[in-house]
Structure 1
Amino acid sequence: MSRISSILYTLSATLIGQLCQSQALPVSPAERLQFSQERYNHTRTLGLSLGGYALANLAVSGIAIGQSTGETKYIHQMNLYWNAVNLGIAGLGLLGLRKQHPETETLGEAVQKHNSMKQTLLFNAGLDVAYIAGGLYLTERANSHPDQADKLRGYGKAVMAQGAFLLAFDVVNYLVFRRRGDPQQVQLIGQAPMGVGVSIPIR
């Protein structure tokens, strides 16, 4: 390729890039804010829901444990331990939200936080499956440890029940995030200004 042809080819590529950039629609602040605000509101609802569930379990099991014996007593005991942790997680999550400000986020930050929430929920769903398997293991151990059968069986059933709830909770919220946010994300990224870069060796 001659030097003149290379120069003309480079100029053409540059003009194409500028044309593509000029044709891209800018993302309006209102659209970006809606995307960020909906993620923020959903995350807040998620934390409040988990916290409310934990408080309800603590109240019910806190009353029932003094009126129960055997396996049932250990179910309520594990519920108290488990939901004290759930309440702590929900509280920390809600406190963390106070540091987020949807109105000042860039599009890149909003997209990153949206994807991070989906990844967190999927990771948690994997842990929930492990919890259910762990609860099943405890109930199976009760058969070979008759002296601790009530405790192992009670703990196992409680862990399986809590793990099943959390699995449903995380999967449903993941699907809601994906169904609501992904189309918005694709639309916003598609509207963001984009350039076309072409590297051409000149000899």
Structure 2
Amino acid sequence: MTSLRSWLVTASSLLLGTAVSAQRADPPATLRDFSEQRIRHQKTLGYALGGYALANIAVGAIAAGQTTGETKAFHQMNVYWNLVNLGIAGAAALSQRKQSGEGETLAQAVRRHENMKQLLLVNTGLDVAYVMGGLYLRQRGRTNELSGLPGKAAQQQGYGTSIMVQGGFLLAFDLVNYLLFKRRGDRQQEQLLQATDSGIGLVLPIN
């Protein structure tokens, strides 16, 4: 009986030691951390897109006045495209200015995290369409060039190249940020859901 009791005490001590070590190495996420991380990432997205748009508008506006033909059309479209990007970034910044993770329920936080991932995935599909649309416009320009319409051809080819470049940037931008959202947020979300489902306060993530 004494040996059985000693074995149980030893086993319990080992399990407790493992749990404490795991907790110190990788503490479980809290709901507030999960929400705040999403909000910070969303704000960073807006600032990055806005900065990129401003740089393109400045460079494009100067270059368009110093070039001609296809190159001029390329810079013009960069300006037009990034005026839209700047508007999107500005609207996002205004909507997120007062956002806080305080008061969010777990269901709300999970839904908003999943919605953000879905939005970025939808955007990647649109970005591919932009690149293909730019390629099509370039091909139309080449057709017009062969048809003896060099002015129209230069504009279409310049616009097409710009749309391909801008679409390619957005494709990389949205895809990378989707992967970051998934890598950072999904693990925290899993920890929170496991803790809720099991009804305990400590979750030991197993990789």
Taking structure 2 as the reference length, the TM-score comes to: 0.78
Secondary structure of the residue aligned to 1:161 is helix
180-189 or 143-152, which deviates more: 143-152
Q: Does 1:90 align with 2:94?
A: no
State the Cα distance separating 1:193 from its structure 2 match: 4.7
* Counterpart position of 1:165: 169
The question of 1:176 aligning with 2:175 is answered no
Q: Report whether the alignment pairs 1:105 with 2:104.
A: yes
- Root mean square deviation, CA, Å: 1.3
Look up the SS of the partner of 1:104 in the other structure. coil
- Which residue number in structure 1 is paired with residue 9 of structure 2? none
1:17-166 map, 5 Å: 31-146=30-145, 147=149, 148-166=152-170
Q: Structure 2: give runs of 5+ residues left out of the alignment.
A: 1-28, 200-207
Deviation, 1:100, is 2.6
Deviation by residue 1:119-138 (Cα, 9 ceiling, x = unmatched):
00000000000000000000
Q: TM-score, normalised by structure 1?
A: 0.79
Letter paired with 1:164: G
- Structure number with greater CO (CA < 8 Å, separation at least 6) is 1
Amino acid at match of 2:158: G
Amino acid at match of 1:162: Q
Q: Please say which of residues 89-98 and 73-82 is displaced more in the overlay.
A: 89-98
Shift of 1:93: 1.0
Which runs of no fewer than 5 residues in structure 1 stay unpaired?
A: 1-29, 196-203
1:167 is matched by which residue type in structure 2? L
Write the distance in 2 (CA, Å) between the matches of 1:45 and 1:191: 29
CA distance in 2, matches of 1:47, 1:77: 23
Which string of whole-angstrom CA distances, capped at 9 and with x for unpartnered residues, describes residues 79-132 of structure 1?
A: 011000000011111111135321111111111110011000000000000000
Cα drift, residue 51 of structure 1:
0.3
Which AA in structure 2 matches 1:87? L
Matched residue SS, 1:174: helix
> Could you report, residue by residue, the CA deviation over 1:36-90 in whole angstroms, capped at 9, with x for unpaired residues?
0000001100100000000000010111110010100000110011000000011
Structure 2 SS opposite 1:170: helix
Q: How far apart are residue 143 of structure 1 and its match?
A: 1.8
How many residue pairs were aligned?
A: 166
Report what 2:195 is aligned to. 191
By how many angstroms is 1:144 displaced?
A: 1.6
- Percent identity, aligned pairs only, is 58
Q: Supply the distance in 1 between the matched residues of 2:33 and 2:55 (Cα, whole angstroms).
A: 32
Q: Using the alignment, how far apart are the partners of 2:197 and 2:133 within structure 1?
A: 49
